[in-house]
Amino acid sequence: MAEPGRAELRPEPLRAPGATEVQVRTLHSGISRGTETLVFRGEVPASEHDRMRAPFQAGDFPAPLKYGYASVGVVEAGAQALIGHTVFCLYPHQSRYVVPADTVVPLPAGLPPARAVLAANMETALNALWDAPAPPGGRVSVVGGGVVGLLVAWLAARTPGCEVELVDTDPARAGVAARLGLGFASPDVARGDADLVVHASGQPAGLRTALALAGFEATVLELSWYGTRAVELPLGQAFHAQRLVLRSSQVGQVAAPMRARWTHRRRLERALALLADDRLEALITHHAPFVELPEVLKQLAHDARGVLCHRIDYD
């Protein structure tokens, strides 16, 4: 990003990899619509500049900087054991790059590279349900049918006996929910008395809906990040009488219940394995060539209606 609201492609020298590094030729990258559009608009608060750095970010907030963290490519030089392997890396949008060999994760056999761009989103969803597990036989509502919300709902629905309902203001999300085997409702008719409510809409109104759907002593798990926006909540209504728990989840740390046993790499490997289900192709709704990336970011920042994951394809 050259400046808030404007991106451009720039050439960059490519050095030869060392013995413990790899050179990756990118096949696909994914745009994390929520985070990357906030970054594009320059809405990362100054207090979060350090915490919000992507693993291989170049430059500093607000701009100029190179940002992104969902790259899939083929290792074409460097560490011999990895040459020819298709890998995932938390790297920005770039056609080729050199990174330490231990920062790339080979794709599981049979996982299409074009679908593997969802790995970072799946990792977020997996971490969320480690923070607040879906109860077997319980009732779960997921407010917000974007990529992360859909993946959380899809994972929760794999819990035995768990009744999962996706809640979104866009009726078009009903079709995607059906393909994933999920129930769907608009906020005005959504089922209440949920044991767990996960909010992932990115909108304050969605969080208010999530609080309204929670049952007595239920947990509302907040996955949305609002950047510099303030959020007003109805905490003077039934919030205290219902004894609700409002808690955050953020993928930068492995969720506390698993942290002693799971590394970031192990969690990413599991996220990639979970993408094997062909139904998850429904989450990639748009794609464009790399040369169009600046314009795509601009469009998403102004109007992302109908878009789930927007994939970038490289020659």
Tens-level pLDDT at each residue, the chain (315 residues): 899 999 999 999 999 999 999 999 999 999 988 889 989 999 999 999 999 999 999 999 999 999 999 999 999 999 999 999 999 999 999 999 999 999 999 999 999 999 999 999 999 999 999 999 999 999 999 999 999 999 999 999 999 999 999 999 999 999 999 999 999 999 999 999 999 999 999 999 999 999 999 999 999 999 998 888 889 999 988 999 999 999 999 999 999 999 999 999 999 999 999 999 999 999 999 999 999 999 999 999 988 889 999 999 998
The H or E element spanning position 185 is strand 183-185
State the Cα–Cα distance between residues 45 and 266, nearest whole angstrom. Answer: 30
The H or E element spanning position 58 is strand 58-59
- pLDDT of amino acid 169: 97
Q: Model-level pTM greater than 0.85?
A: yes
- pLDDT of amino acid 34: 83
The CA–CA distances, whole Å, from 313 to 25, 27, 96, 184, 286 equal: 12, 6, 13, 31, 11
The CA–CA distances, whole Å, from 189 to 6, 60, 206, 213, 299 equal: 40, 44, 14, 10, 32
Retrieve residue 270's tokens.
């599991």
- pLDDT of amino acid 173: 96
Contact status, residue 229 vs residue 48, Cβ threshold 8 Å? no
Retrieve residue 248's tokens.
């955050």
Domains of the chain: 21-120+280-313 (3.90.180.10), 133-248 (3.40.50.720)
Work out the number of other CB atoms within 10 angstroms of the CB of residue 314.
19
- Classify residue 228 by its DSSP letter: T
Q: What are phi and psi for residue 98, nearest 5 degrees?
A: -120, 130
- pLDDT of amino acid 305: 86
3-state secondary structure string across 63-127: CCEECCCCEEEEEEEECHHHCCCEEEECCCCCCEEEEEHHHEEECCCCCCCCCHHHHHHHHHHHH
AA letter at 240? H
Retrieve residue 267's tokens.
């969690």
- Classify residue 132 by its DSSP letter: S
- Classify residue 172 by its DSSP letter: T
150 Rama sector, left if φ>0, alpha if ψ -120 to 50, beta otherwise: alpha
Give the tens place of pLDDT for each residue, 94-112: 999 999 999 999 999 999 9
- pLDDT of amino acid 304: 85
- Classify residue 230 by its DSSP letter: -
